[in-house]
Amino acid sequence: MLHVVAHSKSLNDAARKLYKTQPAITQSMKRLEGQLGFKLFDRQNYRVTLTEQGRRFYSESVKLLAVRDDLQIMADE
């Protein structure tokens, strides 16, 4: 979900892509921010942009997902 929101730059667009409501996306992002202890996004009007910490977290999560995918490929062989 984080990746879709980051690429969409809009909670409404992300909600449409994920077949969820905008309030559900907002709640999920706020819950994740609460668990992490920092803001992932700056919100202005209907647009969202990653904060500096959000960019770092996003970058590391991309790496972790790539490792997960590689491990899944190895497990399937």
pLDDT tens for each residue of the chain, 77 residues long:
999 999 999 999 999 999 999 999 999 999 999 999 999 999 998 899 999 999 999 999 999 999 999 999 999 98
Which CATH number describes the domain made up of 2-76?
Answer: 1.10.10.10
Structure tokens at 50: 């990653």
Neighbours of 31 (CB within 10 A): 10
Domain ranges of the chain: 2-76
Beta bridge partners of 47: 44
Nearest C-alpha neighbor of 36 from the set 2, 67, 9:
2
